[in-house]
A and B are shown apart, each in its own frame.
Chain A
């Protein structure tokens, strides 16, 4: 499966990134090169192998359902590029 410039443009939209023409060319070249390399995994037969998402066999690490102090609203909004007293402010979602 060979990666095209159009594929890369579509992935950029999914990844919420945006490239100009030169960047798109460079990204396509690099991704083709890397994808070709990682396709080396297809040499291996993995039919009966369980996937391993994680190095540890930890399941359902549950904590007691007890309230504990969290961030204040002021602290949580403190790093926002734009906020009012209560909310994170973003550009209009449904148009102006």
Chain B
């Protein structure tokens, strides 16, 4: 068994006992990336030189007996949406092709302080808008379980690199399901923390009231290890909450007694793939065998999640993305072309406004433009009350559904997606079918609660199936402990794609 087939927790123990070096471990992953990433396309950029330099520095510190961080020597992949000083950060967009941030995201600082080794930047849907990673301006990512299929999105590269053993840990972001859905479709673990649990400072914003950064890994134990490093208050993010961070990696092995799980009827409504329904129901039975009790929950507004989300998220996006104006950073349309265009259509728009418009139309891909348009429309005069304000009110109703649910149960259990990974290109022409991919995941973002996706089976065609657990705000510890109970009792998380 190769070192890269071990879990991050096992690798950390081997690093600590000096049975392996970080340089050797990092090199093993770089070799694996060289071998399989041409087929998967999980990475936008692999940073071999800086990774090996960081690894050598950790090895030196360990040799010298200096104090080391919690992830000392472990390689990690980062979604290309977190600003890293003097390192290109593109957000999967042509708009930021040449953007080199002048500062570090807080999460990046935390990874450096933890002595993690950054392998490179993973692919994503442009500005995190999408559910298949097909909206990347650079290249698509293939699902390691079947390379004719999508890995999910928007953190498709983050999930695919874990599934294909190209990194033991990775960082994603989740605005409507962008960690949990790709984790489900790629057969790994992905945690969307409570809104406010992880600092968003330096995260390139999509929808600021919904975005959260979270960990992906092969096992729940590894997810807990990384979550412990990411979580915590940050004075640079006024929405990060100052509440203590439990030692997730220590408590993760403690099973929960008298666990009460809630099942939402709408999660098994029309449209769910029978194999997914079967696997999730089997997982519920597994929890029952571990002593959990099951309660049916009423969440009457669950079916309104997508409609609410596709008003609120585009409104916030249209406002956040107004900053891409071709003046301060990022792409700018060619000045001579702007002048020629203005002369041609005899518009009195003026060169500055036309520069903005041409820059944004050339720099953004079609899905990003669609969401900016939707948001601008919903916020425009005469429509604000009917769309945005209405959506904010329904958001409250969705939150109340969760509050009521968590008075009765500890966790909500259900599917992550209605279907396994679909074939590339299948949903690109119809935005609404793509949006419905997030049916079971968006409500957690709207309510601001925590959710985790973990593998619970494979379809007959060998595609991963995800199980979703959701917990009340700041109950990540409970979520991780419950998820670990399942992984302790099953071996779905140990299965790997037959890739190369």
Contact = CB atoms under 8 A, between A and B. Distances in A.
Contacts of A79: 98-100, 102, 328-330
A34 B432 CA distance: 6
A79 B324 CA distance: 12
Given A17-B360, A40-B307, A90-B355, A31 B396 contact: no
Interface in B363-389: 364, 369-370, 372-374, 376-377, 380, 383, 386-387, 389
Nearest to B307: A38
B391 A41 contact: yes
Contacts of B308: 41
Interface in A1-31: 1, 3, 7-8, 11-19, 27, 30-31
B328 A88 contact: yes
* Prevailing SS type, chain A contact patch: loop
A71 B103 contact: yes
B318 interface: yes
Contact of B307 (A37, A54, A56, A88): A37
B12 interface: no
Interface in B278-327: 301, 304, 306-308, 310-311, 318, 322, 325-327
A53 B395 CA distance: 8
Contacts of B239: 54, 56, 58, 61
A42 B397 CA distance: 13
A56 B473 CA distance: 10
Nearest to B390: A41
A78 B100 contact: yes
Contacts of A88: 327-328
Interface stretch (B143-151, B160-168, B220-228, B345-353): B345-353
Q: Which of B98, B364, B392, B448 has the most CB of A within 10 A?
A: B392
B447 interface: yes
Given A44-B304, A92-B352, A81 B399 contact: no
A81 B394 contact: no
A30 B399 CA distance: 29
A55 B431 contact: no
Interface string A48-91: 01111111101001010000000100011011111000001011
Nearest to A38: B307
Nearest to B241: A56
Nearest to A78: B102
A16 B99 CA distance: 21
Contacts of A35: 374, 377
Q: Which of B209, B306, B373, B390 has the most CB of A within 10 A?
A: B373
Contacts of B392: 51-53
Given A16-B353, A31-B373, A38 B394 contact: no
A49 B241 CA distance: 26
Q: Which of A3, A17, A19, A76 has the most CB of B within 10 A?
A: A17
A75 B396 contact: no
A16 to B, nearest CB: 4
Nearest to B377: A11
A71 B351 CA distance: 30
| Size range of the chain B interface in the assembly | 35 or more
A82 B332 contact: yes
Contact of B357 (A3, A17, A82): A17
Given A31-B377, A44-B397, A91-B355, A55 B332 contact: no
B209 to A, nearest CB: 5
A90 to B, nearest CB: 5
Nearest to B96: A79
B6 interface: no
B238 interface: yes
B396 A52 contact: yes
Contacts of B327: 80-81, 88, 90
B338 A8 contact: no
B79 interface: no
B404 interface: no
Contacts of A53: 209, 392
A15 B357 CA distance: 8
Contact of A34 (B98, B103, B330, B431): B431
B235 interface: yes
B361 interface: yes
Contacts of A80: 327-329
Contacts of B18: none
B492 interface: no
12 contacts: A14-B376, A15-B372, A35-B377, A41-B304, A46-B390, A51-B389, A51-B392, A52-B392, A52-B393, A55-B446, A56-B448, A63-B235
Q: Which 9 A-B pairs have the closest CB atoms?
A: A55-B448, A79-B329, A51-B392, A81-B332, A61-B238, A91-B351, A46-B393, A52-B396, A75-B102
Given A71-B102, A91-B338, 13 more contacts: A14-B380, A16-B322, A16-B360, A17-B361, A35-B374, A40-B304, A44-B304, A44-B394, A51-B393, A55-B446, A55-B447, A79-B99, A91-B352
